[in-house]
Chain A
Amino acid sequence: MAHFLFFLLAIVCIGAVVAMIFSKNQAYNALFIILLFVCLAGLFGLLNAPFIAVIQIIVYAGGIMVLFLFVIMMIDLQEGIPPERKRWTIGLSFLIAGVLIIELLFALKGFLFPAQAATAGSPGSPTDLGRLLFTKYLYPFEITSVLIIVALVGAMILVKKKDSD
């Protein structure tokens, strides 16, 4: 089962990147990368890192990529979606839906088969990660706060309109 999941996810991962190389539409590219990130989250799950898998989906696929899509919409390059590509979208949506279902089943595995459910003591549990984050990795953790301030200030100055200050 694990082998099957691995190869399925690996093929979709590589396929998504290759599709991005061949596609010309940025919105599609962003969607392909979301697909890649979701599959990677599945692989993280296979590697006993459930918490990282969740973060991957929430922050990467949900946060960062939405930002990308948002900017792509703002840029609006007036090329539009060529009509012959339309059936592509259908295929793509099926693919994403399929992967999502596998993803969901995988996430629910613990619920469906309680014997394998992750307990608080198992590796990769949020408790352990949190403890490590605030002891051994306290200093880098504090540095990330500086990083976020820089990113905030930087993004704000660059994008705000000249006259508003």
Chain B
Amino acid sequence: MVPTSYFIILSAILFVLGAFAFFVKRDLITQFLCIEVMLSAANLAFIAFAKSASSLDGQIIVIFIITVAAAEAAVGLAIILLVYRQKKTIKSEDMNLMKG
């Protein structure tokens, strides 16, 4: 069997890569995708821990997190569309109306 720690390490790598990409990428949709990557990394960790403890709680929590991700996608993409209609761009450096 593959040890649980392998899965945790993989999830940590994915989480860090996602957070890193969030800062590197310059367009809103990809930044949003990075957040989804981070959430999935958490999902993987939950399921791996659930298996090592042989309980189902972790799997239930993942169902909730997937629901949250779906809700976030709906609202988030609506906001991105709203911004795109006004500015005709989704580059994050163009979001600079307010300063100080």
Direct contact of A and B (CB under 8 A): yes
- Residues of chain A whose beta carbon lies under 8 Å from any beta carbon of chain B: 2-3, 6, 10, 13-14, 17-18, 20-21, 26, 29-30, 33, 36-37, 40, 43-44, 46-49, 51-52, 55-56, 59-60, 63-64, 67-68, 71-72, 74-75, 77, 123-124, 128-129, 132-133, 136-137, 140-141, 144, 147-148, 150-152, 154-156, 158-159
B78 with A158: CB separation less than 8 A? yes
- Tell me what chain B mostly uses at the interface: helix, strand, loop, or mixed: helix
Chain A residue nearest in CB terms to B25: A21
CB within 8 Å for A133 and B51 given contacts A17-B17, A33-B33, A47-B7 = no
Cβ contact within 8 Å between B78 and A64: no
Docked-complex contact B70 and A30, CB < 8 angstroms: no
B7 touching A55, Cβ below 8 Å? no
* Count, A-B residue pairs, CB within 8 A: 158
A117 CB to nearest B CB, Å: 18
Known contacts A2-B1, A6-B2; is A74 also within 8 Å of B10 by CB? no
What are the residues of chain A within 8 A of B69 when measuring CB–CB? 60, 64
Q: Which of A3, A72, A137 contacts B60 (CB 8 A)?
A: A137
Given A20-B33, A26-B27, A33-B37: A154 in contact with B67 (beta carbons within 8 A): no
